[in-house]
Amino acid sequence: MAISAVVHGPLLTLVVIVSRFGAGVVGLRMDYYFMTCPAVDQVIKNTVFNALQADPTLAAGLVRMHFHDCFIEGCDASVLIDSTKDNTAEKDSPANLSLRGYEIIDDAKQQLEAQCPGVVSCADIVAMAARDAVFFSGGPFYEIPKGRKDGRRSKIMDTINLPSPAFNASQLIRTFGLHGFTAQEMVVLSGAHTLGVARCSSFKQRLSNFDSTHNVDPSIDSNFVKTLAGTCSKGDNAEQPFDMTRNDFDNAYFNALLNRAGVLTSDQTLLTSTATRGVVNAYAMNQAMFFLDFQRAMVKMGTLDVKEGVQGEIRSDCRRINN
Protein backbone atom coordinates (compact mmCIF):
# COMPACT_ATOMS: atom_id res chain seq x y z
CA MET A 1 0.00 0.00 0.00
CA ALA A 2 1.46 3.39 -0.96
CA ILE A 3 0.74 6.23 1.43
CA SER A 4 1.40 9.81 0.39
CA ALA A 5 1.02 12.80 2.66
CA VAL A 6 -0.62 15.99 1.39
CA VAL A 7 -0.48 19.16 3.54
CA HIS A 8 -3.57 21.42 3.59
CA GLY A 9 -2.73 24.42 5.79
CA PRO A 10 -2.28 23.09 9.30
CA LEU A 11 -4.07 19.89 8.44
CA LEU A 12 -2.32 16.79 7.31
CA THR A 13 -4.38 14.67 5.00
CA LEU A 14 -3.29 11.14 4.36
CA VAL A 15 -4.11 9.87 0.92
CA VAL A 16 -4.08 6.14 0.70
CA ILE A 17 -3.46 4.68 -2.68
CA VAL A 18 -4.16 1.00 -3.05
CA SER A 19 -2.58 -0.70 -6.00
CA ARG A 20 -3.90 -3.89 -7.53
CA PHE A 21 -1.81 -6.84 -8.67
CA GLY A 22 -3.43 -10.06 -9.76
CA ALA A 23 -6.66 -11.18 -8.24
CA GLY A 24 -6.58 -9.62 -4.77
CA VAL A 25 -5.68 -6.22 -3.44
CA VAL A 26 -1.99 -6.34 -2.71
CA GLY A 27 -0.01 -3.45 -1.35
CA LEU A 28 3.30 -4.47 -2.85
CA ARG A 29 5.40 -1.71 -4.34
CA MET A 30 8.24 -1.54 -6.84
CA ASP A 31 10.13 0.93 -4.62
CA TYR A 32 9.28 -0.75 -1.30
CA TYR A 33 12.89 -0.73 -0.06
CA PHE A 34 13.82 2.63 -1.59
CA MET A 35 14.24 4.35 1.79
CA THR A 36 14.99 1.37 4.02
CA CYS A 37 17.41 -0.78 2.03
CA PRO A 38 18.29 0.90 -1.27
CA ALA A 39 20.99 -1.63 -2.25
CA VAL A 40 18.67 -4.63 -2.03
CA ASP A 41 18.44 -5.27 -5.79
CA GLN A 42 22.18 -4.94 -6.23
CA VAL A 43 23.05 -7.24 -3.33
CA ILE A 44 20.69 -9.97 -4.53
CA LYS A 45 21.74 -9.66 -8.15
CA ASN A 46 25.45 -9.87 -7.29
CA THR A 47 24.92 -12.83 -4.98
CA VAL A 48 22.84 -14.70 -7.54
CA PHE A 49 25.17 -13.93 -10.45
CA ASN A 50 28.28 -14.98 -8.50
CA ALA A 51 26.65 -18.23 -7.47
CA LEU A 52 25.39 -18.97 -10.98
CA GLN A 53 28.74 -18.19 -12.55
CA ALA A 54 30.16 -20.95 -10.34
CA ASP A 55 27.21 -23.30 -11.01
CA PRO A 56 24.76 -22.26 -13.77
CA THR A 57 22.51 -25.25 -13.06
CA LEU A 58 21.33 -23.53 -9.88
CA ALA A 59 19.28 -21.02 -11.89
CA ALA A 60 16.68 -23.75 -12.34
CA GLY A 61 16.66 -24.37 -8.60
CA LEU A 62 15.91 -20.75 -7.79
CA VAL A 63 13.06 -20.48 -10.30
CA ARG A 64 11.47 -23.69 -9.07
CA MET A 65 11.89 -22.62 -5.44
CA HIS A 66 9.81 -19.48 -6.09
CA PHE A 67 7.04 -21.57 -7.69
CA HIS A 68 6.94 -24.07 -4.83
CA ASP A 69 6.95 -21.22 -2.33
CA CYS A 70 4.07 -19.32 -3.94
CA PHE A 71 1.79 -22.30 -4.58
CA ILE A 72 1.85 -23.39 -0.92
CA GLU A 73 0.70 -20.82 1.66
CA GLY A 74 1.43 -17.99 -0.80
CA CYS A 75 4.78 -16.35 -1.54
CA ASP A 76 5.91 -16.22 2.09
CA ALA A 77 9.19 -18.18 2.13
CA SER A 78 7.45 -21.09 3.90
CA VAL A 79 9.48 -23.39 1.65
CA LEU A 80 12.73 -22.24 3.30
CA ILE A 81 11.85 -23.25 6.85
CA ASP A 82 13.77 -26.19 8.32
CA SER A 83 11.93 -29.00 10.07
CA THR A 84 12.12 -29.09 13.86
CA LYS A 85 11.45 -31.90 16.33
CA ASP A 86 7.82 -30.75 16.54
CA ASN A 87 7.19 -29.95 12.89
CA THR A 88 8.03 -31.53 9.55
CA ALA A 89 8.28 -28.64 7.13
CA GLU A 90 7.41 -28.28 3.44
CA LYS A 91 11.02 -28.72 2.36
CA ASP A 92 11.05 -32.34 3.58
CA SER A 93 8.14 -33.32 1.35
CA PRO A 94 9.08 -35.70 -1.51
CA ALA A 95 8.00 -32.96 -3.94
CA ASN A 96 10.63 -30.61 -2.50
CA LEU A 97 13.56 -32.91 -1.81
CA SER A 98 15.29 -31.95 -5.06
CA LEU A 99 14.86 -28.18 -4.57
CA ARG A 100 18.22 -26.45 -4.85
CA GLY A 101 19.75 -23.06 -4.14
CA TYR A 102 18.93 -22.52 -0.46
CA GLU A 103 22.52 -21.41 0.24
CA ILE A 104 22.17 -18.56 -2.27
CA ILE A 105 19.15 -17.23 -0.38
CA ASP A 106 20.99 -17.57 2.95
CA ASP A 107 24.00 -15.74 1.56
CA ALA A 108 21.90 -12.81 0.27
CA LYS A 109 19.96 -12.67 3.54
CA GLN A 110 23.13 -12.50 5.65
CA GLN A 111 24.48 -9.60 3.60
CA LEU A 112 21.15 -7.76 3.77
CA GLU A 113 20.87 -8.29 7.52
CA ALA A 114 24.33 -6.73 7.88
CA GLN A 115 23.32 -3.70 5.79
CA CYS A 116 19.71 -3.17 6.85
CA PRO A 117 18.78 -5.47 9.74
CA GLY A 118 15.21 -6.70 10.01
CA VAL A 119 14.05 -5.04 6.79
CA VAL A 120 14.12 -7.38 3.78
CA SER A 121 11.86 -10.45 3.87
CA CYS A 122 13.03 -13.87 2.79
CA ALA A 123 9.95 -14.07 0.55
CA ASP A 124 11.11 -11.00 -1.39
CA ILE A 125 14.63 -12.43 -1.65
CA VAL A 126 13.25 -15.65 -3.18
CA ALA A 127 11.16 -13.68 -5.69
CA MET A 128 14.06 -11.42 -6.68
CA ALA A 129 16.51 -14.33 -6.88
CA ALA A 130 14.18 -16.16 -9.27
CA ARG A 131 13.90 -13.04 -11.40
CA ASP A 132 17.69 -12.63 -11.51
CA ALA A 133 18.16 -16.33 -12.31
CA VAL A 134 15.86 -16.01 -15.34
CA PHE A 135 17.82 -13.00 -16.58
CA PHE A 136 21.22 -14.61 -15.90
CA SER A 137 20.17 -17.58 -18.04
CA GLY A 138 19.30 -15.40 -21.03
CA GLY A 139 15.62 -14.84 -20.29
CA PRO A 140 13.73 -11.57 -19.93
CA PHE A 141 14.36 -9.07 -17.14
CA TYR A 142 11.26 -7.95 -15.31
CA GLU A 143 10.67 -5.64 -12.36
CA ILE A 144 8.72 -7.08 -9.45
CA PRO A 145 6.80 -5.34 -6.69
CA LYS A 146 8.11 -6.02 -3.17
CA GLY A 147 6.83 -5.95 0.41
CA ARG A 148 5.98 -9.62 1.02
CA LYS A 149 6.15 -10.69 4.65
CA ASP A 150 7.46 -14.09 5.78
CA GLY A 151 5.00 -16.69 7.02
CA ARG A 152 5.13 -18.69 10.24
CA ARG A 153 3.57 -21.92 8.94
CA SER A 154 5.39 -24.62 6.97
CA LYS A 155 3.84 -28.06 7.04
CA ILE A 156 4.70 -31.07 4.90
CA MET A 157 1.01 -31.91 4.43
CA ASP A 158 0.35 -28.62 2.63
CA THR A 159 2.59 -29.68 -0.27
CA ILE A 160 -0.10 -32.13 -1.36
CA ASN A 161 -1.41 -29.16 -3.34
CA LEU A 162 1.59 -29.04 -5.67
CA PRO A 163 0.75 -30.30 -9.18
CA SER A 164 1.86 -33.86 -9.92
CA PRO A 165 4.13 -34.59 -12.91
CA ALA A 166 1.63 -37.30 -13.86
CA PHE A 167 -1.19 -34.76 -14.33
CA ASN A 168 -2.92 -34.36 -17.67
CA ALA A 169 -3.83 -30.98 -19.14
CA SER A 170 -7.28 -30.76 -17.56
CA GLN A 171 -5.85 -31.52 -14.11
CA LEU A 172 -3.16 -28.88 -14.62
CA ILE A 173 -5.73 -26.33 -15.83
CA ARG A 174 -7.84 -27.03 -12.75
CA THR A 175 -4.92 -26.78 -10.29
CA PHE A 176 -3.61 -23.53 -11.75
CA GLY A 177 -7.15 -22.22 -12.07
CA LEU A 178 -7.53 -22.55 -8.29
CA HIS A 179 -4.74 -19.99 -8.02
CA GLY A 180 -6.36 -17.65 -10.54
CA PHE A 181 -4.34 -18.61 -13.61
CA THR A 182 -5.70 -19.19 -17.11
CA ALA A 183 -4.72 -22.23 -19.19
CA GLN A 184 -2.45 -20.00 -21.24
CA GLU A 185 -0.69 -18.75 -18.10
CA MET A 186 -0.26 -22.35 -16.92
CA VAL A 187 1.43 -23.22 -20.22
CA VAL A 188 3.72 -20.21 -20.15
CA LEU A 189 4.74 -20.92 -16.54
CA SER A 190 5.46 -24.52 -17.49
CA GLY A 191 7.93 -22.94 -19.90
CA ALA A 192 10.18 -22.54 -16.83
CA HIS A 193 11.10 -26.13 -17.69
CA THR A 194 13.35 -24.56 -20.30
CA LEU A 195 15.76 -24.65 -17.32
CA GLY A 196 16.89 -27.69 -15.44
CA VAL A 197 16.28 -31.38 -15.14
CA ALA A 198 13.89 -34.01 -13.88
CA ARG A 199 15.00 -37.16 -12.12
CA CYS A 200 14.01 -40.56 -13.43
CA SER A 201 11.62 -41.04 -10.48
CA SER A 202 9.51 -38.17 -11.85
CA PHE A 203 8.87 -39.77 -15.26
CA LYS A 204 9.58 -43.53 -15.02
CA GLN A 205 5.86 -44.31 -14.81
CA ARG A 206 5.74 -43.39 -18.52
CA LEU A 207 8.17 -46.15 -19.48
CA SER A 208 6.42 -49.32 -18.25
CA ASN A 209 2.88 -50.38 -17.27
CA PHE A 210 1.76 -46.93 -18.39
CA ASP A 211 -1.97 -47.71 -18.61
CA SER A 212 -4.32 -50.62 -19.33
CA THR A 213 -3.67 -50.49 -23.09
CA HIS A 214 -0.08 -49.20 -23.33
CA ASN A 215 3.13 -50.36 -21.75
CA VAL A 216 4.91 -47.15 -22.78
CA ASP A 217 3.28 -43.68 -22.92
CA PRO A 218 2.26 -43.42 -26.61
CA SER A 219 2.79 -39.65 -26.66
CA ILE A 220 6.61 -40.05 -26.43
CA ASP A 221 8.70 -40.16 -29.61
CA SER A 222 10.16 -43.67 -30.00
CA ASN A 223 13.79 -42.47 -30.00
CA PHE A 224 13.15 -40.33 -26.96
CA VAL A 225 11.77 -43.39 -25.15
CA LYS A 226 15.29 -44.83 -25.52
CA THR A 227 16.83 -41.63 -24.15
CA LEU A 228 14.57 -41.67 -21.09
CA ALA A 229 15.14 -45.40 -20.55
CA GLY A 230 18.90 -44.82 -20.81
CA THR A 231 18.70 -42.17 -18.10
CA CYS A 232 16.62 -44.44 -15.87
CA SER A 233 19.11 -47.27 -16.31
CA LYS A 234 21.38 -45.19 -14.05
CA GLY A 235 18.87 -45.14 -11.21
CA ASP A 236 15.93 -43.16 -9.82
CA ASN A 237 18.00 -40.05 -9.17
CA ALA A 238 19.57 -39.91 -12.65
CA GLU A 239 18.84 -36.55 -14.27
CA GLN A 240 17.20 -35.89 -17.61
CA PRO A 241 17.39 -32.31 -18.97
CA PHE A 242 13.99 -30.93 -20.04
CA ASP A 243 15.49 -29.73 -23.34
CA MET A 244 18.81 -29.61 -25.19
CA THR A 245 19.87 -26.36 -23.46
CA ARG A 246 19.27 -26.93 -19.76
CA ASN A 247 21.02 -23.75 -18.59
CA ASP A 248 19.62 -21.42 -21.26
CA PHE A 249 16.31 -19.68 -20.86
CA ASP A 250 14.92 -20.03 -24.41
CA ASN A 251 11.95 -21.65 -26.15
CA ALA A 252 13.69 -24.99 -26.78
CA TYR A 253 11.34 -26.60 -24.24
CA PHE A 254 8.32 -25.87 -26.45
CA ASN A 255 10.16 -27.22 -29.48
CA ALA A 256 10.96 -30.37 -27.53
CA LEU A 257 7.21 -30.78 -26.95
CA LEU A 258 6.60 -30.47 -30.71
CA ASN A 259 9.17 -33.25 -31.20
CA ARG A 260 7.24 -35.35 -28.68
CA ALA A 261 10.30 -35.17 -26.42
CA GLY A 262 8.66 -33.71 -23.33
CA VAL A 263 10.11 -35.31 -20.18
CA LEU A 264 7.12 -35.34 -17.82
CA THR A 265 3.55 -36.40 -18.57
CA SER A 266 2.61 -32.86 -17.46
CA ASP A 267 4.91 -31.45 -20.16
CA GLN A 268 3.86 -33.55 -23.15
CA THR A 269 0.16 -33.27 -22.32
CA LEU A 270 0.36 -29.56 -23.13
CA LEU A 271 0.79 -30.52 -26.78
CA THR A 272 -1.50 -33.54 -26.74
CA SER A 273 -4.45 -31.62 -25.34
CA THR A 274 -6.39 -29.44 -27.75
CA ALA A 275 -7.01 -27.00 -24.87
CA THR A 276 -3.34 -25.99 -24.73
CA ARG A 277 -1.77 -27.11 -28.04
CA GLY A 278 -2.22 -23.74 -29.75
CA VAL A 279 -0.27 -21.96 -27.01
CA VAL A 280 2.59 -24.47 -27.22
CA ASN A 281 2.77 -23.99 -30.98
CA ALA A 282 2.81 -20.22 -30.60
CA TYR A 283 5.67 -20.19 -28.07
CA ALA A 284 7.66 -22.73 -30.10
CA MET A 285 7.43 -20.37 -33.05
CA ASN A 286 7.80 -17.07 -31.23
CA GLN A 287 10.32 -16.80 -28.41
CA ALA A 288 9.66 -13.07 -27.90
CA MET A 289 6.00 -13.82 -27.20
CA PHE A 290 7.04 -16.53 -24.72
CA PHE A 291 9.35 -14.10 -22.90
CA LEU A 292 6.73 -11.36 -22.67
CA ASP A 293 3.97 -13.66 -21.43
CA PHE A 294 6.36 -15.43 -19.05
CA GLN A 295 7.42 -12.28 -17.29
CA ARG A 296 3.82 -11.17 -16.83
CA ALA A 297 2.85 -14.55 -15.43
CA MET A 298 5.84 -14.59 -13.06
CA VAL A 299 4.90 -11.17 -11.67
CA LYS A 300 1.38 -12.51 -11.13
CA MET A 301 2.65 -15.72 -9.51
CA GLY A 302 4.78 -13.59 -7.19
CA THR A 303 1.68 -11.92 -5.77
CA LEU A 304 -0.13 -15.15 -4.80
CA ASP A 305 -1.66 -14.92 -1.31
CA VAL A 306 1.02 -12.50 -0.20
CA LYS A 307 1.17 -11.69 3.52
CA GLU A 308 1.40 -8.06 4.51
CA GLY A 309 1.73 -6.03 7.68
CA VAL A 310 0.95 -8.06 10.78
CA GLN A 311 0.03 -11.14 8.71
CA GLY A 312 3.72 -12.00 8.63
CA GLU A 313 7.18 -11.09 9.85
CA ILE A 314 10.68 -10.36 8.61
CA ARG A 315 12.56 -13.50 9.54
CA SER A 316 16.12 -12.88 10.70
CA ASP A 317 17.18 -16.36 9.55
CA CYS A 318 15.32 -17.62 6.47
CA ARG A 319 15.38 -21.18 7.80
CA ARG A 320 13.63 -20.42 11.12
CA ILE A 321 10.56 -18.48 12.19
CA ASN A 322 11.33 -15.70 14.65
CA ASN A 323 10.88 -16.53 18.33
Q: In the complex with ligand HEM, which residue's Cβ is closer, 47 or 295?
A: 295
The answer to whether 266 and 190 have CB atoms below 8 angstroms apart is yes
295 binds ligand HEM (CB under 6 A): no
Q: In the complex with ligand HEM, which residue's Cβ is closer, 149 or 199?
A: 199
66 included as an active-site residue: no
With CB atoms as reference, the residue minimizing the distance to ligand HEM is 196
197 binds ligand HEM (CB under 6 A): yes
61 binds ligand HEM (CB under 6 A): yes
CB-CB neighbours of 178 under 10 Å: 10
Q: In the complex with ligand HEM, which residue's Cβ is closer, 64 or 307?
A: 64
Count of residues that interact with ligand HEM, criterion CB under 6 A: 24
Distance, in Å, from the CA atom of 239 to the CA atom of 221, rounded to the nearest integer, reads 19
In which region does residue 294 sit, left (phi positive, over 0), alpha (psi from -120 to 50) or beta (all else)? alpha
CA 143 to chain centre: 15
Task: Mark 74-103 with x for binding to ligand HEM (rule: CB under 6 A) and - for no binding.
Answer: ------------------------x-x---
Pick the catalytic residue from 66, 68, 179, 193. Answer: 68
Contact residue for ligand HEM among 40, 52, 60, 127 (CB under 6 A) = 60
Contact residue for ligand HEM among 118, 163, 180, 218 (CB under 6 A) = 163
We find the least distance from the C-beta atom of residue 116 to ligand HEM, in angstroms, to be 28
131 binds ligand HEM (CB under 6 A): no
Taking contact as CB under 6 A, which single stretch among the options 13-21, 31-39, 57-65, 108-116 is the one that binds ligand HEM? 57-65
Q: In the complex with ligand HEM, which residue's Cβ is closer, 28 or 65?
A: 65
Query: What residues make contact with ligand HEM under the rule CB under 6 A?
Result: 60-61, 63-64, 67, 98, 100, 163-165, 167, 172, 189-190, 192-193, 195-199, 202, 264, 266
